[in-house]
Structure 1
């Protein structure tokens, strides 16, 4: 069985190859290790193999891992799961990035509760790109108004968009979903030059990262290819 370090090397090579084939700058795509349900020991092994950024879906689980790994400097924590209003304070205090902001109420709370001693919180707006009933995210039609309102919030730094396209759709439609998110970001950047860098597309996972990179991903969120198959789902928040 391959080690976590071997897996990180393999995924990193996939990213590098896809970036080159897409004609993009080396290093323009970063790997976000999706570490939900994984023990702190796995994250430590990944960090020792050179992985810096870790994405967590469940707040309490993430806080426990932060405590367990508090002696390690340099880990970059990303929150990528659905956000409940009563969890925003701890998210604002503990994370460097939040990829899953989908409504103004959550953005306001994150900004208000971000400690002044920390830099602005990097956020992405989560888009329900396929209009799935089961998925979180704002609609494409809501983005302009949401972006303008978030621009008024002092402790947030809007970086771009995130989406989780339906992985079961045909490959051609999946590619179109990635392309739609990328073209939406390009249009937002043109229409809202005051909004900030808007330099981030968080899209693509273990099975489709090459396609996502070809369409402009700057973060690919990979779990299974790094850590193996996840255990059965559990109900953490």
Structure 2
């Protein structure tokens, strides 16, 4: 059985190969280890192998890990799950990134509740790229108004877009979904140059990260390929 360190090495090489094949600069794509439902020992092992960025979806579980691993220098916490209004204060205080902001109300609360003494909270807007009823996220047509408003909020840094395309799409359609997100970000950056860096595409997971990288991903969110199959929730 491969160790977590072996898996990180394998995925890192896969990212590097896909980046090179896409004609992109080395280091253009970063690995976010999706560590939800994983015990702190697994994260510690990943950290020892060089991984620094970890993505969590369940707030209380994440806060316990953040406390347990507080002595690890340079560890970076990303919230990637749905953001509920009653959780924004803790998220604003504990995380460096939130990839799943899907409405202005949430962005305002995160900005208001982020300590001004901390660095701005990096956020991505979650886009329902295939307009699925079961998925969270803004529709593409809603983004311009949202980007303009969020660009005025203090304590936030609007970094870009996140999406979870339907994984059951044929490869050609999946590629189209990723390309649509990339083109949307490019247009927003042109139309709203002062809204934030708008330099981030959080897209691609264990099964499709190569396609996502080819279409411009800057963060790929990988769990299963690093840690193995996720344990069943009790």
- TM-score bracket for the superposition, by shorter chain length: over 0.9
* C-alpha distance in structure 1 between counterparts of 2:61 and 2:134, whole Å: 23
Matched ranges for 1:40-189 at <5 A: 40-189=40-189
Question: What number of residue pairs does the alignment pair up?
Answer: 234
Q: Structure 2 length normalisation: TM-score?
A: 0.99
Aligned to 1:193, what secondary structure does the other structure show? coil
Q: Structure 1 length normalisation: TM-score?
A: 0.98
Runs of 4 or more consecutive aligned structure 1 residues displaced over 3 Å after TM superposition:
none
1:130-174 superposed Cα distances (whole Å, 9 cap, x missing partner): 011111000001000000000110110000000000001111100
* C-alpha distance in structure 2 between counterparts of 1:103 and 1:233, whole Å: 28
* C-alpha distance in structure 1 between counterparts of 2:88 and 2:49, whole Å: 31
* C-alpha distance in structure 2 between counterparts of 1:32 and 1:53, whole Å: 5
CA RMSD of aligned residues (A): 0.6
* C-alpha distance in structure 1 between counterparts of 2:233 and 2:206, whole Å: 18
Aligned to 1:195, what secondary structure does the other structure show? coil
Give unpaired runs (5+ residues) of structure 2: none
Give unpaired runs (5+ residues) of structure 1: none
* C-alpha distance in structure 2 between counterparts of 1:71 and 1:215, whole Å: 37
* C-alpha distance in structure 1 between counterparts of 2:88 and 2:72, whole Å: 24
Partner of 1:27: 27
* C-alpha distance in structure 1 between counterparts of 2:187 and 2:51, whole Å: 32
* C-alpha distance in structure 2 between counterparts of 1:176 and 1:196, whole Å: 25
